[in-house]
Amino acid sequence: MDVLNDKNTSIIGIWGMGGVGKTTLLEEIRRQAGEKKLFDMFFMVTVSQTPNFESIQQKIADMIGLEFTEKTPEAKAERLRWRICEMLKEKKLLFLVDGVWGEIDLEKKVGIPYGENYKGSRIVLTSRSRDVCDQMGCKPTYQVEGLNDDEAWGLFKGIVGEIVESADRKHIAKRIVGKCGGLPLAIKAVANPLKEKSLSHWEVCISELKGQNLKSVVREALQFSYDYLSKPYAKEMFLLCCLFPEDEVIDIQDLFRLGLGFGLFQNTTTLDTAMAEADVLVDYLKSSSLLLESDREGSVLMHDVIREFAISVASRDKHLFLVGTHQEFICWKRNHAFTRCTAVSLQIDVVPEFPYEWECPELELLKLEGKDKQPLVLPSNIFKRMEKLRVLSMTDIQMMSLPASFEDLKSLRTLCFYKCLLKDISIIGELKNLEILSFCDCDIEELPKEIEKLTNLRFLELTNCKNLRLVPSSVICNLSNLEGLYMRSFSQWKVGKDNASVEDLKKLSSLVALEVCIPNDNLWPDDLVFRNLTRFKISVGDAFYHEDEHLFSHSSKILELKTNTTFKEGFNMLLKIAGVIHIEGTNALHNLNEYNSPLLKCLIIKKCQEMKYAIDTTKSAPLIVFPLLEILEICDMDNLQELYLGMLLRESFGELRKLILKGLPQLMNVWKNPTEHASLQKLRVLGVSCCHKLKSIFSLYMVRDLVQLQEMKVSQCEALEYIIDGERNGDGHENLFPQLNRLELENLPKLQRFMSSLNALATSANCGSGVLEPFFNNQIAFPKLEFMIFSNIDGVREIWTSKFRLEMSFPQLRLLNLGSLLNLTHFWNMNSNENIHMEIVPAVEDNARRLIEFPCLQYITLEKLPIFESFQMGGHALFDGKVAFPSLKRLTLSSVPKLMHVWENMDGPPAHVSLQNLISLDIGYCDTLKNVVSCERDKTMAAAEEIEVGRNTAEVIIFPALETINFHNLPNLTSFFARNGTLFDEKVAFPSLKELNLYGVHKLMHVWENMDGRPAHVSLQNLFSLDIVDCDTLKNVVSCERDKTVAVAEEIEAQGNTTGLIIFPALEVIHFHNLPNLTSFFVENGTLFDEKVAFPSLKQLKLYGVHKLIHVWENMDGRPAHVSLQNLISLDILDCDTLKNVVSCERDKTVTVTGEIEVRGNTTGVIICPALEMIHFRNLTNLTSFFAGNGTLFDEKVAFPALGSLELGVLNNITELWSPQVQVESFCQVKTIVVEGCSKLLQIVPPRLLQIGIETITVKRCPSVKSLFVLERLAVDEREASLTFYHLKYLMVCGLPKLEYIFDKKVSYPAMQKLWISDMDGLRDIWQTQQSSGSFHQLEGIHVERCHKLLTVVPSYLFPELQSLKRILIEYCDSVEVIFCDDSGQLLPATVTLPHLQYISLHHNPVLGSFCHHKCDFEWPSLRKVRLYGCPKMENFPFANMKAPRLERVVSDSTDNEITGDTSIVTGDGFSDKCYYGDECDRFNSRIHTCIIN
């Protein structure tokens, strides 16, 4: 485990043959690292031979609460990497990566950052090959060899039992173990079948283990285990598991569905017994060590070695299973065995060319697994020769229709679609023998009516089909043999005339498994009663949101009921047999006596306002109440007074593990009587909130029963005074909560102490005399408490008594978070006259010092403590010589206004033990803080070893592990240690510092002092990010005294000159914001970076509001420009109103960043930023150019070959973006251009750059622009030729008053997808002349608004090109008369077909009269929504001659000129609208069709 603590180690490799125990070792590393608290979070993922990176990304994202909006794996990897980098600022993360088969870039492919820049991240990976570990850069690597003899014997004996020690077995057992070669997988494989077997079976085992090498031994051991599977169908179930991808979590329900269709479970008569049999078989295979447990409930895993064995078994003899990828499929087609196979599992990475017919007459099971819902087109006759096919499963595939040969699958019993996008699947109705039909996680809108023909169907699953809108009533009614129906994602019950109703469920007399969600209890018929259900998940009422989906794992019988009426008979029946019950909002429930079921595991009751007592036994003998209940949540019950009234027997609540009480304003007691009336000994989690009459949580009697309590959170209880009511006599400690790990107390205004005092008079007297009562007295101990969080508790003045013994009371405390404790002044008073019992730290330098040491405390957060001054009363700093934190990692102080210093300046070791492990220091809103370390110069802190600087052995305050410093809103901070206006001088050093953030440190003049010593070196060498914001007086980052030179690292030789440089070798991010007095980084010359500073790793530079800046870089010949620009990726400069050039434009010097670029024979040096991808300039009112001062932003002297995004705003002195001489290769990667508010700009893209890969252009509010693309500078012959914008997809133009048209025939746009035009006062035509063919055939959206001189939108000649158009929006265009116009004598076709048009919106176009000048028909088969507002002359709206079969919604307004006389499209005035859906929309359309077109 020591190597995991090594900061220089980022990735560790473990290798060894399959089955040797690498995965087990990973799990053990995770366990031990967790116990030792080495990391804050652990992630264990499996890669496998064919990695599914998206699955790995999703698993990690789920663990950190990240939801992806990105679609591609690459984008997800970048998002995940960013999130993990943010987490690494505060946490240490361990990634356990199992089963790596080849070299993988985990950062790019998955998003796991690692390496020198991510010290908080560790990766431990396993592989079968040492070469793979070496390729992955693992240092160190470890080989996992087999168990030694004693370990192997112990493992075998632990499985088989003590019988191995018997005289007749021991010698055979020793030989068997010896044959296994120390491989855990082989030992488990042979040991499990030998349990409780006779001696002859042991002798058979010896005879079958003949392997000459370890691989053959594993195979023989697995074969022996397989042969000894005696349960019916166990072998078949085992072989089915190999059909799933390697290392995939296998859902037992999936196995059940495949197995039932494959002919398993023939001895069962019902679906329920078959499901139970599947569960039994899986348990049997797990006990045989052939399957593994999974972290996910209801699923299993198969070891990759066992899967290889299963495939080999399944691929021989009569089985002939073929399992592989599309590459292997190509080989299969050439193999004669393919025609004899009985099962095929094919993983499709790329769509293969399937044969027209598959010659597989013996095939019984086919499993196709795609990726990212890739489109799959199957030949129409592909299933023609699969007469015996019984099971067909498709995963992650898009299919527009199923092949015609589907109807030939007469033997098909199971058809499963997982995560598929499906359209026309009506042919499924021809599969008359189908028994199982599953659409799990599929994108499907309608269940075809033809499914009603499947009268033999026993199982129908529509789980998580979120877009499902229609399930025909006839389908449910006709499936009379249905035993299992899963459709929780369907909520459109009885919506429309064809949709199914809950009433239809009464026709399903054979139903034993049901999952449904009914949005309203009124939809549930009074006489609907399910008496035969053995598995159900039924929700009635509004959609339930589960914070803890783990609740569903407690039972297969779950009922969620939200109703305000008396329970119907059907509900009562289910309530009596359910294992999980969630009831909300009913006024008919007075107590829970009637539902006191011994089967109940989880009970959630909310908003049942008539209930006063959850249990009332006053009218009966004492009861055993909820003996197996594990979770009880009672929330938002205004009248509940007690949990129970009367007597309970001891067995009541005997298994309760979690109790949540929330929003119970009348509750008087958590537990009224002593716990001999019920047992709470297994309670682990207690949450109490918003119970305003509670004065205490526990009685002392109750506390002694809570021996397993691990988490307690109490919040928002207005009257609460104590947690425990009652105190025992005596001075000894008592472990009242021996297992308590987490204590959270929040928003408890009257809470004074944890335990009340017996002597209230003495308490009052103490308070009157000024003696503070501590929150914890010396009688309370929490031996395992790790997390303590207090917030908004006004009564707390002192935390601990001076008598407490920390080693007994809080020895494991890891996290201390105190916030908004308005009266807290200190933690304890060590000046008290009471006897002090503290841990004694050994003498240091013969000076005995009494210390209170928190040995495990790693995280301290103090926030909003207005009168808090110090840990102990009377201290001058937060931490003085009386307290030590040897494990402290993160310290956060915010809004502690009386704090003047954090550490006291002293000679002893407490500072050492408090600083040596500190990783993060965050201090903010501490108004009186002057120094972090008190700056009395007569004492010097020796925190670690002295650092020798030259011959000067001055002692230095060292924070050896500190990586992050955040200082914000500290108006009086002058320095870290001294009082000279410089934050860091030669007396402090931070050798591990990565991130420095300074916000609102208003008295700071410099960050670093200009000195010759090494402290600057050790503080800068690892700095990754520098962020300085709102520091009003900052003049320079490094003080600019010229008589001293900082030698941070090696001198850089620049053209023979060995001038010393200030180098930040690891700095990647610089952000300066609102620094009004900053003149430079080092020298006060108006240039931020001169030749004295270098940033060889700089990637991101952001400058906002640096108002005295004239240039960013100096124009010089030396190498500093090279090392500062070569890795720059992002450059943002905003609101720097004095900036003239980014690089100073003195022409007598030339920056040669890399090799010179030859420009038409001219070898003039060019400023090159080879990695720069993004430029963002805004509000640079004096900027004349990037380099030269001629009004052109970029001339031939600059080159950014990687630039992808250019965003410019309010550059008032720029007339053109690129000069005509600019070279294409200098800007060849530009994809996005955004220009806004550049008042003198004349044009956007010069001719030379028209054909590079620009995809998006946005131009807004540039009043001088006359044309987007300047063609007049082309030669005469070039002007006659057509130019093509091959990659432009999106064009937005807004507020260009001098632009009269957008497109002419000189430029074509074959890739254009979206066009947005707005506020164009001079625009008369969008298209000036007829366009070249193919120019807009990908155009999907047209949006035109506020173009008041525009008469028409789309000319007739464009119609053949607009077959991809999806959206048309025309808004606030005063002169537009028609949308589609006849042009140049070319009429519109008689039928205007726009096959993909989905949405039309026409808003406030006062003279718009029709879509076209003459009558024509419109075919819009995809149109779904039409919006029409403020178009009073729209008389020719094309409903009567329009075919739009998918139209769902029409929205219009009330105008003087109604479209029809009787429909009343709109009611009310202005924008009031009426929406039409489903059948109503159809009726509306039918009435509209009576409209007469003039």
Task: For 770-807, give the DSSP string.
Answer: TPPPPSB-TTB--TT--EEEEES-TT-SBSB-TT--HH
Average pLDDT over residues 1340-1355: 91
Q: pLDDT of 1016-1034, one tens digit each?
A: 555 788 898 999 999 999 9
So what's the pLDDT on residue 1270? 63
**What does the block give as tokens for 318?**
């009569």
So what's the pLDDT on residue 838? 40
- Report d(CA 1376, CA 1353) in Å as an integer: 8
| Of the listed ranges 330-344, 504-518, 1099-1113, 1249-1263, the one predicted with least confidence | 330-344
What is residue 360's three-state secondary structure?
coil
| Of the listed ranges 64-73, 197-206, 673-682, the one predicted with least confidence | 673-682
What is residue 1313's three-state secondary structure?
coil
327 phi/psi in degrees, rounded to 5: -65, -40
Is the pLDDT reported for residue 1165 higher than 80?
Answer: no
**What does the block give as tokens for 707?**
């021996």
Average pLDDT over residues 1090-1118: 86
What is residue 1111's three-state secondary structure?
strand
Q: How large a percentage of the chain has pLDDT more than 90?
A: 27
Is the pLDDT reported for residue 937 higher than 60?
Answer: no
Among 1259, 1264, 1266, which Cα is nearest to 1288's?
1259
Q: pLDDT of 437-468, one tens digit each?
A: 999 999 898 899 999 999 999 999 999 898 89
Among 1055, 1051, 1199, 1167, which Cα is nearest to 1118's?
1055
- Report d(CA 687, CA 1197) in Å as an integer: 67
Average pLDDT over residues 1172-1194: 89
Look over the chain and give the mean of its residue pLDDT values, rounded to a whole number.
80
Average pLDDT over residues 1326-1333: 71
User: Parallel, antiparallel, or unpaired for β 988-989 and 1006-1008?
Assistant: unpaired
Task: Report the first-to-last Cα separation within the chain, whole angstroms.
Answer: 86
The residues, any chain, with a CB within 8 Å of residue 739's CB and separated by 6 or more, are: 684, 707, 708, 709, 710, 784
**What does the block give as tokens for 188?**
């488990």
Q: Which amino acid is at 1132?
A: D
* Residue 1391 burial class via C-beta count within 10 angstroms: exposed 0-12, middle 13-18, buried 19 and up: exposed
So what's the pLDDT on residue 741? 93
- Asked whether the beta carbons of 595 and 559 are under 8 A apart, the reply is no
**For the whole model, what pTM was predicted?**
0.77
Is the pLDDT reported for residue 327 higher than 70?
Answer: no
Is the pLDDT reported for residue 1258 higher than 80?
Answer: yes
Among 1254, 1118, 1234, which Cα is nearest to 1178's?
1234
Q: Name the region of 127 (left: φ>0; alpha: ψ -120 to 50; beta: rest).
A: beta
Is the pLDDT reported for residue 1310 higher than 80?
Answer: yes
**What does the block give as tokens for 990?**
């931070």
So what's the pLDDT on residue 806? 61
- Tell me which residue has tokens 């004074």: 752
- Asked whether the beta carbons of 420 and 401 are under 8 A apart, the reply is no
- Report d(CA 1017, CA 1046) in Å as an integer: 9
- Report d(CA 1384, CA 1357) in Å as an integer: 9
- Tell me which residue has tokens 């030992």: 187
So what's the pLDDT on residue 481? 92
Q: pLDDT of 384-393, one tens digit each?
A: 888 899 999 9
- Tell me which residue has tokens 């009435």: 1487
Is the pLDDT reported for residue 471 higher than 60?
Answer: yes
- Asked whether the beta carbons of 926 and 896 are under 8 A apart, the reply is yes
Helices (H), 1001-1049: 1015-1020
Q: pLDDT of 541-551, one tens digit each?
A: 875 545 455 55
Neighbours of 400 (CB within 10 A): 12
Task: Return the DSSP state at 593.
Answer: G
- Asked whether the beta carbons of 661 and 693 are under 8 A apart, the reply is no
- Asked whether the beta carbons of 464 and 444 are under 8 A apart, the reply is no
Half-sphere exposure of 703 (CA within 13 A, CB side): 23
- Report d(CA 1131, CA 1095) in Å as an integer: 14
Give pairs for 1472-1476: CB < 8 Å, separation 24+.
1473/1429, 1475/1449, 1475/1450, 1475/1451, 1476/1449, 1476/1450
So what's the pLDDT on residue 1426? 87
- Report d(CA 1009, CA 981) in Å as an integer: 10
So what's the pLDDT on residue 554? 63
**What does the block give as tokens for 1024?**
């990754």
The residues, any chain, with a CB within 8 Å of residue 17's CB and separated by 6 or more, are: 128, 183, 214, 215
Q: pLDDT of 346-385, one tens digit each?
A: 887 665 566 666 778 888 999 888 876 667 777 888 888 8
Q: Please, which residues bridge with residue 940 across strands?
A: none
Angle between helices 304-314 and 234-241 (to 10 degrees): 110
So what's the pLDDT on residue 1394? 86
CA dihedral in degrees (644, 645, 649, 655; nearest 10)? Answer: 0
So what's the pLDDT on residue 1294? 95
Is the pLDDT reported for residue 1281 higher than 70?
Answer: no
Q: How large a percentage of the chain has pLDDT more than 70?
A: 81
- Report d(CA 995, CA 1069) in Å as an integer: 9
Among 632, 595, 588, which Cα is nearest to 610's?
588
- Looking at the chain, the number of H-run helices and the number of E-run strands are 25, 78
- Asked whether the beta carbons of 359 and 338 are under 8 A apart, the reply is yes
646 phi/psi in degrees, rounded to 5: 110, -155
Q: Which amino acid is at 488?
A: R
CA dihedral in degrees (228, 231, 236, 238; nearest 10)? Answer: -60
- Report d(CA 1349, CA 1368) in Å as an integer: 19
Is the pLDDT reported for residue 473 higher than 70?
Answer: yes
Strand order in the sheet with 1111-1113: 1087-1089, 1111-1113, 1141-1143
